[in-house]
Amino acid sequence: MPTVPGTAPPGEGPKTADHSPAERILVDAVRDGRCILFLGAGVHFPPPDGSPFTYPAEERPPLGGALAVQLARDCNFANVVPDELPTLQRVSLCYEKELGRMKLVDQIRTAVEEGTRPSAAVRALAELPFSLIITTNYDTLFEKALRAAGKDPFVAWFDAKGDSPTGEYTPGKDPSAEAPFVFKVHGDVNHAESIVVTDEDYIGFVLRMSASDRFHPIPETFRYRFQKWPTLFVGYSLFDYNLRLLFRTLRWKIDKAEIPDSYSIDKRPDPLISDRWEKEQGFRFIAADVWDWVPWLYGEVLGREMSL
């Protein structure tokens, strides 16, 4: 398969990039299979102008804003809630009111699944030795990329009803790079009851965060490893209120000195949030484009260039 032209030899990273000692620690953790990957919708952004990579619009699932616009048009949001900018949570609530929950989930499934394909960045991340992956994405693109890489993922998703234990890793052995555990914290499009998308869904999810261990919305495997391994956030902006709320709840009343650092790949970190989270939550913000940084990580960990 073709590789990225003009990059440094494997193990040296891009010629123009300066990488911090903290990033080198992260590389070691990923290489050793001791890092949690937290995957967000931003991983589906197109590559920037001048990138050797391509990701055509027809192959990309819509991001939250674009999906909100599609749904708003179908449910007549502008007339139901005049003078309000369409956000995915509010538009989804309107869509559910006007057209029903089944139609809402069907529309989301169509938008994120039909004709879409994993990007080169997603395929590269799937090749890396992550044994634990948690994602807020509804689509199945990462699971497809894992299987294409010869892996056998165990996939579980949020149980919105809360009347059964959260899905746990059950094959009888620990998750591994070859058989990773993927947890879809906001649901899976093929399991309509699991989807967290409206304002009310998010309220219900947050309330579940206080449930007992057996019924907690996050599997114990992840909650335990969050306190032992670093977490790599790819495809997120911590400007996202829901993500900050989720992660703060997971680390509630845990001393920052007792947990490993987390790393957020964000081209333009919000200065107010990054300052607070670096001090209070042990976050390290890496100001980089995913399409530049993932190829560097891939080369450092696997010793070869990332395929186009």
196-223 residue pLDDT tens: 999 899 888 888 877 766 677 888 888 8
Round to whole Å and give the CA distance between 285 and 16. 19
- Are 168 and 216 contained in the same domain? yes
In contact, 244 and 202? CB cutoff 8 Å: no
Question: Does the structure show a pLDDT above 60 at 9?
Answer: no
Residue 291 lies in a domain: yes
Cα first-last separation, the chain: 7
**The pLDDT of residue 290 is above 70:** yes
pLDDT tens-digit profile of 57-92? 999 999 889 999 999 999 999 999 998 888 999 999
Q: Which pLDDT belongs to residue 119?
A: 96
Same domain, yes or no, for 229 and 267? yes
Q: Are 247 and 215 in contact (CB under 8 A)?
A: no
Cα–Cα distances (Å) from 237 to 41, 134, 240, in that order, read 10, 16, 6
Distance CA 64, CA 11 (A): 35
Residue after which a domain boundary falls, among 75, 91, 112: 112
Q: Let me know if residue 44 belongs to a domain.
A: yes
Same domain, 54 and 71: no
Distance (Å, whole) CA 161 – CA 2: 46
For residues 101 and 195, is the Cβ–Cβ distance under 8 A? no
E-strand ranges in the chain read 36-39, 132-135, 154-157, 181-184, 231-234, 262-265, 283-286
Q: Does the structure show a pLDDT above 80 at 190?
A: yes
Residues 148-177, mean pLDDT to the nearest whole number: 79
Residues 282 and 143 in one domain: yes
Asked if residue 16 belongs to a domain, the reply is no
In single-letter form, the type of residue at position 222 comes to F
Evaluate whether residue 239 is within a structural domain: yes
- Claim to verify: residue 100 and residue 221 sit in the same structural domain: no
pLDDT of 8 strictly over 60 = no
80 and 207 fall within a common domain = no
**pLDDT of 16 above 50:** no
pTM, full prediction: 0.88
Query: Does residue 267 lie within any of the structural domains?
Result: yes
Residue 308 lies in a domain: no
Task: Look at the block and give the residue holding tokens 């990033």.
Answer: 23
Same domain, 80 and 184: no
Among 52, 81, 112, identify where a domain stops.
Answer: 112
Please indicate, yes or no, whether residues 51 and 75 belong to a single structural domain of this protein.
Answer: no
Cα distance between residue 60 and residue 50, in whole Å: 19
Q: How far apart are CA 264 and CA 213, in angstroms?
A: 27
Asked whether residue 4 is domain-assigned, the answer is no
* Predicted confidence (pLDDT) at residue 17 exceeds the cutoff of 70: no
Instruction: Check: CB of residue 151 under 8 Å from CB of residue 167.
Output: no
Q: Which domain holds residue 287?
A: 21-60+117-302
**Structural domain count, the chain:** 2
**Per-residue pLDDT, 13:** 41
Look at residue 274 and tell me if it is in a domain. Answer: yes
171 and 93 inside one domain: no
Question: Helices marked H in 227-289 — which ranges?
Answer: 241-250, 271-280
